[in-house]
Amino acid sequence: MSPAYRVLFCDLRTDQLLDALPVQSLALEDWIGKTGSLGATIPVPNAALAARVRRAVAPGRTAVWVERGREIWWGGILWTANVASSTRGYMTVQIQAGGWDSYLDHRLLYDTHTAAQVDQFDIVRNLIDYVQAAPGGDIGIEYDTHLSGVLRDRTYSRYDLPTIRDLIAQLGAVESGFEWRITSYRDAASGRRVKRLQLGSPVIRSGTADIVLDHPGPVLTYGWPVDATGQANAWQSRGASSNTNQAADSVPLLSQPLVAEDDIAAGWPRLDGSSDYSTVSEQRTLDAHARADWSAARAPRTIPEITVLIDGRITPALLGATVRLRIRDLWWPEGLDERYRIVGLSLTPPERGRPKTAKLYLEAA
């Protein structure tokens, strides 16, 4: 028999366990590159359980952990709860939670922060330190000290009131940037639950051996989207506006225009794109953002999704791992055999005969 899922509700700042409540319709997602989410419904059949839920479910100050056996499968912050009563008096509480990085959407930079030739990973860690040094701001995010080898100059002004998450995301999105997430796991030695900042340049990778997945086989279904709506082969980015002369028109800093002449020579139509960085005032920084955005827009990422049976190989710890996907069907009669990196995972635990499956979201390795 496979281990059951258990949902723990803890104090966000101390991680003290408040309760382990029964849930229905549990669904969770974890990603590299965007915030994970959790949704569930807590049944409230009697007054005793209602009192427990009232004590444990406090949006904005409650941490949510999902365990499968002794493994941590997800962690994040409870943000919304909706108490609902049916016509028959059946009560439920519907909850929604976001990954740990969602906390950084709720923290602003109130002090000017300057970095001169500082490794980009240290800039991120300094921002995390700033968040957790404020009274009430320490939610227990940990990190290591490894470096990316890429030095940056940055000045973040308190007058812009940026969110900490936006600053980290923008820093990672520049040329020679990085990926980041806050992962959840149980420390093998102490057994405690851990929230840990994970950084990877240029991308996050995990595992040492490829996981082979076949269709037909463990891969039950797949979807393969191809989308050119965001594609562009010509690009320019806008930076901060100049306000040094109030009597003159204020115009933004512009990056050097970029055009993929080889795409056009190969028969592609010209497709224009742009991006805005209203707090970037240095030309070289804006140009680096533009080159990164242009490179991404020329060949938009295809994110295939595959539905697989959950076995001992499939856990949230696989984010960043490489799979070897082999498909043979009508679309690929000669067979597809390619390597992909797992960048997202969506899980709906089995309920009432529903099979144990997960969706994996992939990108070219």
Residue keyed to tokens 């069907």: 329
Whole-angstrom distance, CA of residue 304 vs CA of residue 302:
6
Question: In a 3-state reduction of DSSP, which class is residue 148?
Answer: coil
CA gap 36, 74 in Å, rounded = 9
Fold of 211-226+302-364: Elongation Factor Tu (Ef-tu); domain 3 (2.40.30)
Q: How far apart (Å, rounded) are the C-alpha atoms in residues 347 and 150? A: 35
Q: Please name the CATH architecture into which domain 107-200 falls.
A: 3-Layer(bab) Sandwich (3.55)
Distance CA 164, CA 18 (A): 28
Query: 171-175, 242-246, 279-283: which has the minimum mean pLDDT?
Result: 242-246
Confidence of residue 85 (pLDDT cuts 50, 70, 90): very high
**What is the predicted pLDDT for the residue at 355?**
66
> How many CB atoms sit inside 10 A of residue 146's CB?
11
pLDDT tens digits for range 163-183: 999 999 999 999 999 999 999
Q: What percent of the chain has pLDDT over 70?
A: 96
Chain-wide mean pLDDT for the chain?
93
Listed in order, strand segments (DSSP E) in 86-204 are: 91-99, 113-119, 141-142, 151-156, 179-186, 193-200
C-alpha 165/C-alpha 173 separation (Å) is 12
Q: What pLDDT, on a 0 to 100 scale, did the predictor assign at position 72?
A: 96
Tokens describing residue 259? 């055009």
State the pLDDT confidence band at 92, using cuts at 50, 70 and 90: very high
Query: Taken in order 157, 158, 159, 161, is the CA torsion positive or negative?
Result: positive
User: Residue 247 — pLDDT band, cuts 50, 70, 90?
Assistant: low
Distance CA 48, CA 30 (A): 33
pLDDT at 243: 64
**Span 5-100: which CATH code?**
2.30.300.10
pLDDT in tens, 37-73: 999 999 999 999 999 999 999 999 999 999 998 899 9
253: left (phi over 0), alpha (psi -120 to 50) or beta: beta
- 8, 25, 77, 79 from 93: Cα distances, Å: 15, 12, 16, 13
- The domain segmentation of the chain, as residue ranges, is 5-100, 107-200, 211-226+302-364, 234-298
Do strands 193-200 and 141-142 pair parallel, antiparallel, or not at all (unpaired)?
Answer: parallel
pLDDT digit string, tens, across residues 99-158: 999 999 999 999 999 999 999 999 999 999 999 999 999 999 999 999 999 999 999 999
209 pLDDT more than 80: yes
Residue-wise pLDDT tens digits, 328-364: 999 999 999 999 999 999 988 776 666 688 999 999 8
Give pTM, 2 decimals.
Answer: 0.90
